[in-house]
Structure 1
């Protein structure tokens, strides 16, 4: 998956050490609350064995036991230090097994493997009178034009009905224009990556014709004849968001494969090359195959992008400590506004050490 990683970047506000927890938060049985507490107790014991301090454990105790559980199946991702919870997210799919780790760097590979990047989404239900719009932030509003003309055509044709029908169609068009104008603004303002439109086919077509190209390009449609956001829309949004995420991932993998076939130095693979590129803030997209990343550690300085295999490679910012190579590199790339892609077995790319990167500019001899 391609990660839009602003939410991970916030972890850099802490110097650590960090407790990272990935747990099953499913709540679909009568004893779900008790099972949830038992799962947390097991993970808590793992943190104790790993050396987590009492303050961090207390912070997590409060977060885990104090929050309401979501309905149905879900996973939960938590990262905390001794002062506060730094990351707390639910994901739709629970992990096959819970994990708990303690160290100088968050277990970001576990977090990324379990969570999905969010796809900011605008949802609109349209009909002849206008539409109801749900913005990226969840707020809902009803929009229509100032048109006062009729919205229903005559059932039978007669003298003068052609002109009346034209007035009706003009009202429909003006209502669609009003909805489209507001949708375009919400898509831009919310940096939406997905627009889900419900309504009958003619209403959806009218709206599509009025949308700006940037909105029309991210539009997914569902059949619904009402003018309010339907109950089943969340299932559609989830499915459409999955499609967006997979398309982003495939695009990134394809871009890496293309860059790897050129000689301009805009793709590197292997631990050494990726570390050097991350240190230079050159990584646009990091590819990671979790099953192939070596268990070795990298040095990391006070600046999260100060990463290296050897201390003499760090000119400034450290070294302060070391951490698992994958976690250190993910944090470094995110800190420099890069994205992260999880590679899959079927991808037609070769990654040395399970790592590859698309670069913004060449680094090292290729530069």
Structure 2
């Protein structure tokens, strides 16, 4: 996963207020907005107890709950610093629990996990309920969306809507197929979901290019989505849950290949820190441990991190402090433009939960 969406957070020095809050309104309470406000007050107290400045807290307060138009279960991630909003991200699922943190580095790992797996897809719903005859009255309605799963659940992608007389469908399906292909190519889709009427969708599928037909999963029915939510959301959830994006799978395969031949890879926190210090990390692989107690020592710059205070000071860094390991690692990844891949433990258990793919292997040293 490329972490460019986090770059605004690191263009200024901290400290930062980081808030994760369930802002769902489709819940069984009389006044969901009042419930959100009550939970926010608790988080506000947490921020204040950790030394947050009043202006940064006020900036969070002005943003929390602003997603009133998003239906369904979801949440918000809000980051402020020096009295202004730095980053706001809508979460496709509510956070596991509401949290707030004030510190020198933003708490970004829960946000990264919600961006995964980041699979580009095309969803198409074909609706026609009349007699299957080109002479029949009626129309075929097409609704399609290209997006990235799971973010499209709360940030709709590009939508296409067409209504075509059934008498024109055999010819028009080819044009619709070419239009869908153009949108799919722009985001390099990895999955195509087509739902709806068997007859009408079959005609469309036969007119799609072979490259897309090989990625298609079909469903009967499907129904149109809630406004503001992903098209065919439940179908996509069942199909894509637990999958990794093709780009991340390729990085993981390269890591495993390098590990098998003792090449440009390593495991463990120490190895990851060493690679990031020298800007040698191409990608970091993490088993997600949201409550990990691991800590690292960091300096003002992204590559200034170490296992101990003494090590960091030995490099000439004077302004040092101890931070959560995941926050320190993510800052280093963004600063060196390395990638991050969240790997479920059931797929691959990494030593200390961390692996690193290096940009190049150490050259062997030959001695006479």
* Normalised TM-score (structure 1): 0.75
Change (3 A) 1:235 1:210: same
Give the match for residue 40 of structure 1. Answer: 40
Give the match for residue 259 of structure 1. Answer: 258
- The one-character-per-residue Cα deviations of 1:210-245 (angstroms, maximum 9, x if unpaired) are 4345534543322249xx956672322333342544
1-structure distance, mates of 2:86, 2:363: 35
In structure 2, the residue corresponding to 1:260 is in which secondary structure? helix
Would the aligned equivalents of 2:284 and 2:338 in 1 still touch at CA under 8 Å? yes
Q: Deviation of residue 344 (structure 1)?
A: 3.5
Q: Deviation of residue 99 (structure 1)?
A: 1.5
1:196 is matched with which residue: 180, 193, 214? 193
- Of stretches 333-342 and 78-87 in structure 1, the one that deviates more from structure 2 is 333-342
Give the match for residue 142 of structure 1. Answer: 162
- The one-character-per-residue Cα deviations of 1:121-165 (angstroms, maximum 9, x if unpaired) are 433234786844334433334287xxx9955xxxxxxxxxxxxxx
Change (3 A) 1:335 1:197: farther
1-structure distance, mates of 2:204, 2:109: 41
2-structure distance, mates of 1:254, 1:283: 16
Would the aligned equivalents of 1:21 and 1:79 in 2 still touch at CA under 8 Å? yes
1-structure distance, mates of 2:83, 2:190: 34
Q: What do you get for the CA RMSD once the two structures are aligned? A: 3.6
Give the match for residue 311 of structure 1. Answer: 312
Q: How does 1:159-178 map to 2 (within 5 A)?
A: 172=170, 174-178=171-175
Would the aligned equivalents of 1:300 and 1:328 in 2 still touch at CA under 8 Å? no
Q: Work out whether 1:88 is the aligned partner of 2:99.
A: no
Question: Structure 1: which 5+ residue stretches go unaligned?
Answer: 152-170
Change (3 A) 1:58 1:98: same
2:269 is matched with which residue: 268, 271, 276? 271
Would the aligned equivalents of 1:134 and 1:140 in 2 still touch at CA under 8 Å? yes
Change (3 A) 1:186 1:324: same
- Of stretches 5-14 and 207-216 in structure 1, the one that deviates more from structure 2 is 207-216
Q: Deviation of residue 47 (structure 1)?
A: 0.7
2:177 is matched with which residue: 166, 177, 180? 180
In structure 1, the residue corresponding to 2:158 is in which secondary structure? coil
Q: Deviation of residue 113 (structure 1)?
A: 4.3
Q: Deviation of residue 41 (structure 1)?
A: 0.8
Q: Work out whether 1:63 is the aligned partner of 2:63.
A: yes
Q: Deviation of residue 77 (structure 1)?
A: 1.6
Would the aligned equivalents of 1:133 and 1:143 in 2 still touch at CA under 8 Å? no
Change (3 A) 1:135 1:110: closer
Question: Structure 2: which 5+ residue stretches go unaligned?
Answer: 129-133, 135-139, 148-156
Q: Deviation of residue 54 (structure 1)?
A: 1.2
Give the match for residue 144 of structure 2. Answer: 133
Would the aligned equivalents of 2:117 and 2:245 in 1 still touch at CA under 8 Å? no
- The one-character-per-residue Cα deviations of 1:302-328 (angstroms, maximum 9, x if unpaired) are 3x345444337869xx67554322212
Would the aligned equivalents of 2:268 and 2:350 in 1 still touch at CA under 8 Å? no
- Judging by fraction of residues, say which structure has more helix: 1
Q: How does 1:207-226 map to 2 (within 5 A)?
A: 207-212=204-209, 214-224=211-221
**Greater CA radius of gyration, 1 or 2?**
1
- The one-character-per-residue Cα deviations of 1:38-70 (angstroms, maximum 9, x if unpaired) are 111111111111111111101001011544274
Change (3 A) 1:354 1:58: same
In structure 2, the residue corresponding to 1:139 is in which secondary structure? strand
Would the aligned equivalents of 1:257 and 1:348 in 2 still touch at CA under 8 Å? no
Change (3 A) 1:275 1:39: same
1-structure distance, mates of 2:268, 2:364: 15
- The one-character-per-residue Cα deviations of 1:260-288 (angstroms, maximum 9, x if unpaired) are 22222x21112221123224444333222
